[in-house]
Structure 1
Amino acid sequence: MGSRETVNKILRLNTRDKTTLLRSSFLAQMGPTAMPAMMEIVTVANFEARDVLFREGEHAEFFYSVLVGYVRLYRLNKDGREADIRICGPGDTFAECLLALGDTYLYNAQAAEPVTLARFDLQRVRQLAEVQPDVAKAVIRCLSNHLLDTMDCIANDRLQTAPQRVASYLLAACNVQDGPASIRLPFQKSLLAGKLGLAPEALSRAFSSLKRIGVSVRGRSIHVTDVSALKQI
């Protein structure tokens, strides 16, 4: 694993990053009073691929919103085995649960590739939530969305085979209802495995089983011969 980089705390949001942040689930529905207050306390941090943002059990100062790139959240067992919890991409927020749960990180976070993150000071946001109802509502909304996503993930783990999980992901990424489709993964296949709750070798076996219905993989590029056939998996 990489080590944490020294962070430039005075970076400012460019237009693209500000747009991504304002569309994030945390900020998107804030009103005209709460929004400027949140934007005043945001700082921007850059990390290189494989940099560790924080480790489970460390003192927590910030929660984050992804502006560019992907971050993997994961846990380690005593033998050093890793289990991905979530893959966060642009617009996703993570560690905001600590606004209500305490002052130590509950999992590890690592940059899967070069990333740009918006950081929010936990203590200052807690103070804002006391006087700005929109901030408190945003926290509740984010945590509710995470709960629903987790429930869907558990259901998929129990109800779908590995090929079915991969097929569901590909169907969601397709922009056609039938016929052929081409998809380019936004991240490495190892991240897709973690996102789907699969070991990398299980993902490879799932793709192999989908070859019979015309799914071919070359690097991050995936071609589906017939979307209708994929729906029948």
Structure 2
Amino acid sequence: MEAVADNLFPILRETSLFSAWPEDLLHALLLQSKKVTLDSGEILFVEKAAASAFYLVLSGRIHLIAAASTGQEKIVEIIEQHDLFAEAVAFLGGRYPVTAAADGSTSVLEIPLALFLEILEQKPLLMRQMLARLSMRLHFLVKELRHLSVESAEQRLVSYLLELCPQANGSAVIEFPTKKSAVAARLGLTPETLSRVLARMRKAGVIEMQGRTIHVPDLQALERWVAGH
């Protein structure tokens, strides 16, 4: 267990949640954590289940899925490598608000909630830092909800592509982090609508696409194009 903690310590320390944690407390938490490996499509936890842990993606991706009143499911977030998720359950009555499923072969670090909460209760400063992070996360999700409710399909897709883009000007090569159907669900679109928007963008010459790879010859031209939609 000590070797595992040593290997994962730098990864966990890079997250905003744990960046200020003292080394001894972080090692203590890691020693009680464990690695979980999932096959593609395997469920890690289900919505409304009692929570005993939160997670860090070590490899692969996790889809967070919410059930609508109509019975349909929607991917609300795609969790990438070295991202934390489900940490908010510590402040939500101990139940998961979404379902988590693996997108491809995935491994995660399972961090025990009981020990995490015990440490926070003993360290008020860490608790305040945690609440600040959750507040920023809430603002982000409210912004995302606003975008989904008022933006056109073209605006949603271009905004998403720009989020993935490493720079603001010139040309760029962007890689979809997951399959197109998952991206479509993340943006609140059907796969057919996403395909039509991509086709219109290719026809307009603002993108070139091969598989999941998108080449944008001119980022500012892409922004001008979407301004017309």
CA displacement at 1:189 relative to structure 2: 1.7
Corresponding residue for residue 227 of structure 1: 219
- Of 28, 31, 56, the residue aligned with 1:37 is 28
Alpha-carbon RMSD across the aligned residues, in angstroms, is 2.5
Matched residue of 2:162: which SS?
Answer: helix
Corresponding residue for residue 124 of structure 1: 115
Query: Contact 1:46–1:115 (CA<8 Å) still a contact in 2?
Result: yes
Corresponding residue for residue 101 of structure 2: 110
Matched residue of 1:12: which SS?
Answer: helix
Residues 106, 29 of structure 1: alpha-carbon distance in 2 compared, 3 angstrom cutoff: same
Residues 222, 206 of structure 1: alpha-carbon distance in 2 compared, 3 angstrom cutoff: same
Residues 200, 134 of structure 1: alpha-carbon distance in 2 compared, 3 angstrom cutoff: farther
C-alpha separation between the residues in 2 aligned to 1:98 and 1:163? 34
Query: Contact 1:74–1:85 (CA<8 Å) still a contact in 2?
Result: yes
- Of 183, 188, 192, the residue aligned with 2:179 is 188
- Of 47, 56, 60, the residue aligned with 1:56 is 47
1:8-157, aligned counterparts within 5 Å? Answer: 12=4, 15=7, 17-77=8-68, 80-157=71-148
C-alpha separation between the residues in 1 aligned to 2:181 and 2:3? 31
Query: Contact 2:5–2:30 (CA<8 Å) still a contact in 1?
Result: no
Identical-residue share of aligned pairs (%):
28
Query: Contact 2:30–2:111 (CA<8 Å) still a contact in 1?
Result: no
CA displacement at 1:191 relative to structure 2: 2.4
Matched letter for residue 105 of structure 2 = P
* Post-superposition CA distance 1:173-204 (Å, at most 9, x none): 33454443322222222222233232322221
Matched letter for residue 176 of structure 2 = L
Matched letter for residue 113 of structure 2 = L
Residues 174, 209 of structure 1: alpha-carbon distance in 2 compared, 3 angstrom cutoff: same
C-alpha separation between the residues in 1 aligned to 2:148 and 2:2? 42
Structure 2 unaligned spans of 5+: none
Residues 149, 78 of structure 1: alpha-carbon distance in 2 compared, 3 angstrom cutoff: closer
Question: What is the aligned residue count?
Answer: 224
C-alpha separation between the residues in 1 aligned to 2:201 and 2:47? 37
* Post-superposition CA distance 1:76-130 (Å, at most 9, x none): 2466421112111123222222212223322211011211211111122111111
Query: Contact 2:5–2:31 (CA<8 Å) still a contact in 1?
Result: no
Provide the TM-score with structure 2 as the length reference: 0.85
Matched letter for residue 104 of structure 1 = R
Corresponding residue for residue 4 of structure 1: none
C-alpha separation between the residues in 2 aligned to 1:106 and 1:148? 17
Matched letter for residue 80 of structure 2 = G
Which protein has the bigger helix share?
2
